[in-house]
Structures are given as C-alpha cells and as structure tokens.
Amino acid sequence: MKTTALSDWLQQRLRRDGSEPVYRQLQQLLRQAVISGELPAHTRLPSSRLLAQELGIARNTVIDVYEQLAVEGCVVSRQGSGTVVADLSAERLPTPTRARSARGRGAGAEPGVAAGAEVADAHGAAQLSPRGEALLAAASVSTRQWGAFMPGVPDVTEFPARTWMRLENRRWRHPEPELLSYAPGGGLPRLREALAAHLRTARSVVCEPEQLILTTGSHQSIDLTLRLLASPGEHVWLEDPCYWGLRSSLASLEARIVPVPVDAEGLAWQDGGPHPVPRAILVTPSHQYPLGMVMSLARRQALLAYARTHGSWIIEDDYDSEFRYGTRPLPALQGLDDAGRVIYVGSLSKVLFPGLRLGYLVVPPALAERFALGSAALYREGQAWQQATLADFIEQGHLGSHIRRMRGLYHERRQALLEAIRQHFGDTLAVRGDDAGLHLVLALPDHVDDVALARDALAAGVAVRPLSRYHADPARAPRGLLLGYACVRPEAIPPAFAVLARQVAARLGG
C-alpha cells in the first residue's frame, strides 16, 4: 500500500458517528493492517502531520497512536527517518505447534472434514479480536527455560524436594475434602497468615493477613489489579525498560501504555508531563528489572506524593528483593505508604520454583474484601492442598533457610560470571546493576545488534536475552545482554561464557 493509498484506505474505514473514539479506530485499523501484512514490514508511514491533515483529525491523535503502536511492537520510530512498520516475522519466536496447526487437520482428519474450510479460516473467519492481536503482537515466549545464561530462572535443582514431598505426603495420607475443593476467595487463610508474617519481617511490609490475596503469580496479580482498578483506554506508566511480559498483558487489557524512562535513582517522570494522569504506575523499586538499580528513598517519597495527589495506584513489583549480596535492601515502598495507594506484588517463582505458580498481592485494607471476591469470581482458585503444604513449609522455617542458602550459592555464581567477563574483556565492557538478583546486564556499544547476537549465541548453545527488547523502542535503546547466572553451576560458568565471548567478540568487530 502506498502512503497516499493508506490515507484513502483509512478514510473509508473510519466511522465518524461517535460510536467509537477515532484514536482507537485508527490504532486498530493500523494494527490489523500491519498484522495482516497489508502494510508490509519496513513500509514507511506518512508523517503524523501529513496523515492528520489528510484524515482531518488532530495531529496529537496520530502521534499518540503511532506511540502506542511502537510500544506494542507494530511499528518502529527512528529519529530522522520517521515511523516504519516492524518486521513481525522476526519478532515472534516459534512455538511447538506451529507447523501442524497451520495446515488444517492433517493426517488425523476424519472423513468429511473439509480441509479447505480450515485454510479459509486461517485468513478470514479465524480472525482474532483486536485485543487478542495486540496480545500476540507483543508476546515473546522463550522456547528455552533452563541453562546458561537464561535470565530470570532460579536453580530449581536446589529446591528441597524431599522436604516438600514429606510435607505433601502427610496431606495426601489424610486428604481433607476442603483442601481438594475450590480455595476460599483470597486463598487459604493459614498461608495468608504465614506470608504476612514473613513479609512484615523480611520486607517491612505493613499488612494484616486479610490484605494478602494469593494468586498464581505476578501475571495474574497484575491482571486482577488492572481489571478491578483500571478501565480500557486509561493510561498506565511502565518503566522503560521493563519486563516484556507486562506489555502484552497490558495490551490485552486495553490499557494505554506510557513508557517512562529510568535513571540511576529509578523511575524518572516529569511532573505535569505530556500525558494525562495515569490510573496506575508499575515500578520495581527494590531492583529495577532488568537494569538492577535500587529506587532512592527521595524518589520513593516523591512517587508516593505523586500518587496521593493524583489518585494513581502504584503497583510495586518487589522483584528479586530476597537476593542481595552484601548490602541490605531498602524496605518495600508499601511500608512507606500512609495513604493506601500501593498494591504490592510478590511471587515465590524465583525463591522456590517458577512451576509452583504461587504469587500474592498485598492490597490496601479498603480494597481487601473486593480483591478477594474479585479473585474468586474471575479465577475460581484451587490448589489449596498445595497452599497448605507451603504454609507448613514456611512455618517450619524452610523458606527462610532456603533463601539464606540460595543467597550464598547465587553470590558465588555471580562472582564466577564477573570473573569470566573480566578475563575475556577486561574493563572494555561494563556490567550494569548493583550486587543483587539472578542476572546481570553486560552493556554493549550502540553499534552492536544485540538481537542478532542473542540469536548467534542460541545457535551456539547459550541462551541470553537482548537488552534492547526490554525497551519500548528497541531501535533507539541501549544495547546489551541479560545474563542469568542463577541456574548455572559455578564450574559450568567459565566454559559457557567462553562460548558466548566468541560470539560477542565477533559482533564487537574487534
């Protein structure tokens, strides 16, 4: 489609009867044109000024839509060369079901099944909804969940499986019917009490057990929070860079994502900036994800004041707060909040193991009852017998001792990785983030294509993640690699890094 043709095409499709806001229509039309391939990769979109003029709409509307599409990954904005359509084929990683499902029912088809109908579906009637397309456009799911240097993966082989098995067996020998049924809204009271006690001590979180809402992890925690508190079209601030999974979740909830940069002190917003007041602000104050710095106390106070003044919700993801090597952590933002504006998000995925699917929210007292009811209505939770096992595990002190033990192991692995980096690159490549967490960021010069480097590395057997992909605008983002050291035994770190170093050196062009 040519640029002038695009204006005509949009002109014909925009409904001006007030049934739907123009910005939303424009966003959906452009998104679908990108996804369907009508606007092929690398097509240059008209300037916001030109398109606004041709459609007879406000230029700010077009700017806003281009920005949203950039955040979703549909287009890429480059200074000087305008806005171009992203290459979605490279964006999406393969999933195991690909080959077969695209080809109709295949060899197992029943007589009378029309394969032709399936093919037609793939292009026409099997269209997803715009929110579904937005979700998938931003989705990025790794095919690998283990090994050097996969970030965000704890060492699950160190989990005290025998202890867990013993506690579970005690339950299985005399199963209580209540534990095998649906869980009560908010989760099993005993586990909520045990976690509240743990959070008060370990994280200075101020809470009663009723404020704890058990979930299946941070994804569900954020889903529940935004479905209960935010409306479609409302603005939500995300740190830039941030965990990529947030962008797809938020897109499917039809939140309008505003990426806000971070500096050495954390989230660096401009008061009275160009955007309306956000309904929610997602932050990782303990250990910025993925860069690793801690939000300063001054910034925390300023953020709380902002939220109090404007009535925004702060969603505090207390990511990686358990694993600090040397320094003591600042207490959670939630503990400083005297106005009930902070929703605290925690998870046992990194502390115990991800497959457990156990996370939690700490919500202000005024919301506790409604969150418990909302969670039950939306998800009909269960796994109460597993929650009971976990309560036993915490009460008997196993959680505390496991965290202490893993802190020692991870610290040792971090040192081994830092040493390997130094041996190969001396001081030429900087390491970002403070002494904490399960990964570090190896900074790279701007000319290095970190996405291509990650692909090379994976082909050579080492999984890493490119830093630019965590940014709202990958094209203009700083380059680097996230290296997870938590799920690699120390003796495996030097040889694995040697493999990676060869790929890095080749791309550095030195």
Q: Which two tokens stand for residue 299?
A: 């910034």
Q: Applying CB under 8 A, which of residues 14, 41, 88, 179 lies at the interface with a second copy?
A: 179
CB 238 within 8 A of CB 250: yes
- Output the smallest distance, CB 33 to a second copy, in A: 17
The number of beta carbons lying within 10 Å of the beta carbon of residue 178 is 13
Q: Applying CB under 8 A, which of residues 357, 398, 407, 489 lies at the interface with a second copy?
A: 357
The number of beta carbons lying within 10 Å of the beta carbon of residue 384 is 22
- Output the smallest distance, CB 417 to a second copy, in A: 19
> 159 or 425: whose CB is closer to a second copy?
159
Q: Applying CB under 8 A, which of residues 27, 248, 284, 503 lies at the interface with a second copy?
A: 248
CB 96 within 8 A of CB 214: no
What stretch of H or E contains 315?
Answer: strand 313-317
Q: Applying CB under 8 A, which of residues 339, 430, 499, 506 lies at the interface with a second copy?
A: 339
> 42 or 405: whose CB is closer to a second copy?
405
Is 383 one of the binding residues for a second copy (CB under 8 A)? Answer: yes
Question: Which range binds a second copy by CB under 8 A, 4-12, 51-59, 61-69, 349-357?
Answer: 349-357
What stretch of H or E contains 283?
Answer: strand 280-283
Place of tokens 């029309």: 114
Helices (H), 146-188: 161-173, 177-180
Enter the DSSP assignment of 476: G
Interactions with a second copy, residue window 408-427 (CB under 8 A): none
Rounded to whole angstroms, how far apart are CA atoms 365 and 340?
Answer: 8
Rounded to whole angstroms, how far apart are CA atoms 267 and 285?
Answer: 8
Judged by CB under 8 A, how many residues of this single chain contact a second copy? 124
Rounded to whole angstroms, how far apart are CA atoms 138 and 50?
Answer: 27
> 227 or 404: whose CB is closer to a second copy?
227
* Three-state helix/strand/coil letters over 17-32: CCCCCHHHHHHHHHHH
Is 372 one of the binding residues for a second copy (CB under 8 A)? Answer: yes
Instruction: Report the candidate in 232, 246, 278, 226 with the shortest Cα–Cα distance to residue 24.
Output: 232
Is 186 one of the binding residues for a second copy (CB under 8 A)? Answer: yes
Interactions with a second copy, residue window 67-96 (CB under 8 A): 92, 95-96
Per-residue x/- track, 282-321, a second copy (CB under 8 A): -----------------------------x----------
- Output the smallest distance, CB 11 to a second copy, in A: 17
Interactions with a second copy, residue window 426-485 (CB under 8 A): none
Question: Which range binds a second copy by CB under 8 A, 130-138, 267-275, 315-323, 393-401?
Answer: 130-138
Q: Applying CB under 8 A, which of residues 148, 206, 361, 457 lies at the interface with a second copy?
A: 206
Q: Applying CB under 8 A, which of residues 5, 12, 89, 126 lies at the interface with a second copy?
A: 126
Q: Applying CB under 8 A, which of residues 177, 274, 509, 510 lies at the interface with a second copy?
A: 177
Rounded to whole angstroms, how far apart are CA atoms 503 and 510?
Answer: 11
Interactions with a second copy, residue window 36-65 (CB under 8 A): none
> 485 or 507: whose CB is closer to a second copy?
485
Is 370 one of the binding residues for a second copy (CB under 8 A)? Answer: yes
Q: Which two tokens stand for residue 390?
A: 């976990």
Q: Which two tokens stand for residue 402?
A: 């496991």
Write b or e for each residue in 454-465: b if 16 or more Cβ atoms lie within 10 A of its Cβ, otherwise e.
bebbeeeebbbb
| CA 393-397-400 angle, 5° bins | 100
Q: Applying CB under 8 A, which of residues 68, 211, 221, 468 lies at the interface with a second copy?
A: 211
Is 490 one of the binding residues for a second copy (CB under 8 A)? Answer: no
Is 382 one of the binding residues for a second copy (CB under 8 A)? Answer: yes
- Output the smallest distance, CB 484 to a second copy, in A: 12
- Output the smallest distance, CB 35 to a second copy, in A: 11
Q: Reduced to 3 DSSP states, what percent helix, strand and coil does the chain have, rounded to the nearest 5?
A: 50, 15, 40
- The bridge status of strand 280-283 relative to strand 235-240 is parallel
The number of beta carbons lying within 10 Å of the beta carbon of residue 38 is 15
Q: Applying CB under 8 A, which of residues 143, 309, 327, 423 lies at the interface with a second copy?
A: 143
- Output the smallest distance, CB 188 to a second copy, in A: 10
CA atoms lying within 13 Å on the CB side of residue 190: 14
Enter the DSSP assignment of 127: P
Q: Applying CB under 8 A, which of residues 182, 422, 423, 428 lies at the interface with a second copy?
A: 182
- From first CA to last CA, the distance across the chain in angstroms is 42
- Output the smallest distance, CB 370 to a second copy, in A: 6
Is 493 one of the binding residues for a second copy (CB under 8 A)? Answer: no
Interactions with a second copy, residue window 217-236 (CB under 8 A): 217-220, 223, 227-232, 234
Is 195 one of the binding residues for a second copy (CB under 8 A)? Answer: no
Q: Applying CB under 8 A, which of residues 19, 79, 89, 270 lies at the interface with a second copy?
A: 19
CA 28 to chain centre: 23
- Output the smallest distance, CB 279 to a second copy, in A: 8
CB 296 within 8 A of CB 283: no
